[in-house]
Amino acid sequence: MDFDANVWPLVGGFGRYTRMVAAATWLPNVVLAMGFCSELMFTALPSYRCQGKASRGPCTGNSSWDTPGNWSQYCPGGLRYQPQGWLNNNIVTQWDLVCDEQWKVSLEQISYLIGWLVGYIIFGSLSDRLGRRTAFIVAFLMALPFGVAVSFAPKYFSFLPLRAGFGAALAGIFICFYVARLELCSPSNRLMVTMIAGFFWVAGELLLPGLAVLCSDWRVLQGSITGSILLLGIYWCGRTLFPESPRWLLATQQLEKCKHELYRFARANGVNSGEDIAGQDAIFTEIDSVWEGYPRFRYYSICSIFGTRLIWRNALILGFTAFIGCGIRPCFARNLKIFDSYIPYFLQGGSEIIACILICICVSHCGRRSVLLLFTILTGFCSLLLLALTQYLFVKASVVISVLGSLFSHGVVMLSVLYASEVLPTVLRGSGLGFIMGVNMLGRAALPFIELQHKSGYFLYHVVLSSFCVLSVLSILLLPETKKKSLPETLKQGDSLRRPPLLLHPTQDAVPLLIPDKTRADYDPDSYAQLASSTKKMIRSDKITSQNWRVEQNSD
């Protein structure tokens, strides 16, 4: 059954209440972006003077230099710090993670990203098993104690697992809202609603520096973010703001709960006329006829994807493309370090805003596949330019190419995730997206891993990712186009998506011997569907009546 075409419009579609619920799912992105980007504040390396070993970092031994009056800390171990970021005290200054201890900063960054990776995979699978709303509640209840515990972590090695657990909970909240938001939208609204959510994420990134300046200390900042997450409890208490996805309920054959949610959306969207109510009853009758008898709930795990013909291939291609987009961004960000810590941060945020705008404009006209192909080509082109011409370019030209590369790579990541959510069926959408977003975190973890190896192999890493861009361009051509198409609900529907030609003419698929535009005036597919479902229902009721009559005769 086509949910977008046959069910959703009869209960109001993307009506008033549906738009309100979709808009409500944008707001958590502000808090989640603060939680994710706070890692940059926590691990920012300040200027310091170290009397320890000079084997790593800018250690100056016992050299003397002018000490300005605003040096904020003098450690008994021989360390002085001058914070250059927005926090006067972070985990680097808290536990002296410099010189011979600087490897702990990279280790913490890797563990935090691994926490997000694990959270995406676990809560993505839970959202397919328990539902989008239930998985969110579990992630929310996990985020609060971990967030508070991080604020009071006494030692570095106790901070490490607590911070990873906090990241896993934030990842769970993010993926639950992302999937639920997408499943509320009609085909024509999916792109815009998703991109507006991206704008709210960037808004959280840009608000974080101001919050960090107000907090001044990393423990206070962590407490503020945890307090903001506490406000998300309104989505748990108020089911109106975050109902369960009726699309997922229908796909997993939970018919009674699905009908209840559809009635909720119909009433809230103002579908009250007699004709519309009849339409709802017809849909419910058809739902009962499709799943005759007493249907069993059907759940799928991520392992089910390997039994499909095309879904696994599409997920693998988009996961690979998203990995390249995330992994290659540090290669562009490295050339922005000539500025102070403020300018690169806001340049990255500005490039993300422009990427969202470009996606909105281009994808609505050209489709997902063509724009993803273009962005991947431009990302690889910028990367190859930096590899070949960095030492010959002016500094300004290198900065411009790096900003453009960051812009296009962010577009690749956003479009890959949206694309994946549209080619994955509803029964596997959460676990499939969890896998792809987890691969994103592997790409992000590449830079701190290189830092952990004392920056050895950085050039080779850049070369490999640039080569992967070429391979990704070829693989994108195998993807189907999902522009203004209904979301697949089952594995069979997901496998039915086919790859169209790259340049498709509107009448290319029309068969010359048939006239597709002309249909019989007396043919109404909805009436035939209602007649068939009503006939099945009458036959089933007659069978039950005859069985009851036979039982009575036998008893007599």
Residue with tokens 């930096």: 386
More confident residue, 4 or 214: 214
CB 107 within 8 A of CB 160: yes
pLDDT band at 365 (very low <50, low <70, confident <90, very high): confident
* Same domain, yes or no: 7 and 138: yes
Last residue within a domain, chosen from 254, 283, 299: 299
**Among 366, 354, 138, residue whose Cα is nearest residue 235:** 138
Last residue within a domain, chosen from 299, 323, 346: 299
* Same domain, yes or no: 345 and 432: yes
3-state SS class at 75: strand
Considering 193-197, 275-279, 488-492, 521-525, the range whose residues carry the highest mean pLDDT is: 193-197
Q: Does residue 545 belong to any structural domain of this protein?
A: no
* Same domain, yes or no: 166 and 267: yes
* Same domain, yes or no: 288 and 352: no
State the Cα–Cα distance between residues 84 and 245, nearest whole angstrom: 46
* Same domain, yes or no: 104 and 243: yes
| Per-residue pLDDT tens over the stretch 315-356 | 999 999 999 999 998 888 888 877 776 788 888 899 999 999
Q: Does residue 412 belong to any structural domain of this protein?
A: yes
Residue with tokens 């070993």: 53
511: pLDDT strictly greater than 60: no
**Among 410, 426, 418, 433, residue whose Cα is nearest residue 315:** 433
For the chain, the average pLDDT equals 82
* Same domain, yes or no: 120 and 143: yes
149: pLDDT strictly greater than 50: yes
In the sheet that holds 79-82, the strands lie side by side as 47-50, 79-82, 73-75
CB 178 within 8 A of CB 201: no
State the Cα–Cα distance between residues 10 and 285, nearest whole angstrom: 13
Residue with tokens 């069985």: 547
Q: Does residue 8 belong to any structural domain of this protein?
A: yes
Last residue within a domain, chosen from 282, 299, 316: 299
Residue with tokens 């697949």: 488
Q: Does residue 29 belong to any structural domain of this protein?
A: yes
- Cα→Cα distances 438→11, 121, 168, 449, Å: 35, 7, 11, 16
How is residue 217 annotated by DSSP? Answer: B
- Helix 311-333 vs helix 395-423: crossing angle, to nearest 10: 160
Q: According to the model, what pLDDT value does residue 66 have?
A: 45
Domain with 392, as residue range(s), is 302-499
Q: Does residue 216 belong to any structural domain of this protein?
A: yes
CATH number at residue 210: 1.20.1250.20
* Same domain, yes or no: 336 and 483: yes
* Same domain, yes or no: 356 and 261: no
Please report, rounded to a whole number, the percentage of residues in the chain having pLDDT higher than 90: 44
Specify the range with the lowest mean pLDDT, choosing from 169-183, 220-234, 493-507.
493-507
504: pLDDT strictly greater than 80: no
pLDDT band at 77 (very low <50, low <70, confident <90, very high): low
Contacts of 417 (CB under 8 A, 6+ apart): 178, 318, 322, 433, 436, 437, 440
Average pLDDT over residues 269-286: 60
Going by their DSSP bridges, the two strands 47-50 and 73-75 should be labelled as unpaired
| Per-residue pLDDT tens over the stretch 377-429 | 999 999 988 888 777 777 788 888 989 999 999 999 999 999 999 999 999 99
Helix (H) or strand (E) holding 142: helix 132-151
- 362, 403, 405, 119 alpha-carbon torsion, rounded to 10°: -90
Q: Does residue 424 belong to any structural domain of this protein?
A: yes
Average pLDDT over residues 533-550: 64
